[in-house]
C-alpha cells in the first residue's frame, strides 16, 4: 500500500486530473469537429438535455467577462495560478478522498485554461433543463468536474470528523 505521507496519493490526483483533461478536450473536439455544434447552435438529445453552443468569455457563471485580449490573458494567468495552487495542494494532501476531489478540480481547470488560451473563450455545450426552465447554465465536462470536486471538498470539510486523540488518563490521587 502506498504511503500517503510520502506522496502515495499523488498519482491518483494527477491521474484523475489527466483523465478529466483528456475527456474534456475530446468532448470539445467532438462538439466542434464531427458534430459541428458551433455551426448548428443546438442539437436536441432528449426533452431535458440539449447540446447548445455557448462561448463563455467569463469565468464561473459568466462573472469577470474578458472583453479584451489583455483581460483574456489576465484570466488565463489568474486561473493558471489557482490551478498551480491546487497542484501544490495535491502534492501536500494526505487524505486520499481530498486528493481525488482536487484531481477533478485540477483537470477541469486545465481544460478550461486550455480553451481560453487556444480559443479566447471556454466552449460550453451541455444544457440540462426542465421544459423551458434552465436551472443550470450551459456547461462542459471541465465545469462539471470542477463543481463535483468542490462539492466533495466542501462536503468533507463540513461533514467529516477527524478522529479524536484519546483523552489523557489523569489520576485523581
Query: Annotated catalytic sites, by residue?
Result: 124, 143
Angle at 69 between CA 68 and CA 72, to 5 degrees: 90
Specify whether the backbone of 158 is left (phi greater than 0), alpha (psi in -120 to 50) or beta. Answer: alpha
Q: How far apart are CA 81 and CA 77, in angstroms?
A: 6
Query: Residue 59: which of 73, 75, 82 has the closest Cα?
Result: 75
Say how many C-beta atoms besides its own lie within 10 A of residue 121's C-beta.
17
Q: For 95-146, what is the HEC assignment? A: CHHHHHHHHHHHHHHHHHHHHHHHHCCEEEEEEECECCECCCCCECHHHHHH
Q: How far apart are CA 13 and CA 10, in angstroms?
A: 5
Amino acid at each position: 500500500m502506498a504511503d500517503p505521507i510520502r506522496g502515495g496519493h499523488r498519482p491518483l490526483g494527477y491521474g484523475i486530473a489527466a483523465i478529466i483533461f483528456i475527456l474534456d478536450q475530446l468532448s470539445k473536439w467532438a462538439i466542434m469537429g464531427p458534430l459541428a455544434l458551433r455551426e448548428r447552435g443546438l442539437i436536441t438529445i432528449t426533452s431535458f438535455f440539449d447540446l447548445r453552443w455557448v462561448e463563455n468569455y467569463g469565468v464561473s457563471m459568466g462573472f469577470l467577462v474578458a472583453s479584451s485580449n489583455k483581460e483574456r490573458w489576465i484570466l488565463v494567468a489568474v486561473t493558471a495560478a489557482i490551478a498551480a495552487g491546487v497542484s501544490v495542494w495535491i502534492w501536500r494532501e494526505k487524505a486520499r478522498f481530498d486528493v481525488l476531489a482536487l484531481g477533478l478540480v485540477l483537470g477541469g481547470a486545465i481544460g478550461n485554461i486550455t480553451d481560453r488560451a487556444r480559443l479566447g473563450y471556454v466552449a460550453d455545450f451541455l444544457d440540462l433543463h426542465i421544459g423551458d426552465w434552465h436551472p443550470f447554465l450551459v456547461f462542459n465536462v471541465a465545469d462539471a468536474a470542477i463543481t463535483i470536486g468542490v462539492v466533495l471538498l466542501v462536503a468533507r470539510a463540513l461533514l467529516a470528523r477527524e478522529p479524536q486523540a484519546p483523552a489523557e488518563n489523569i489520576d485523581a490521587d
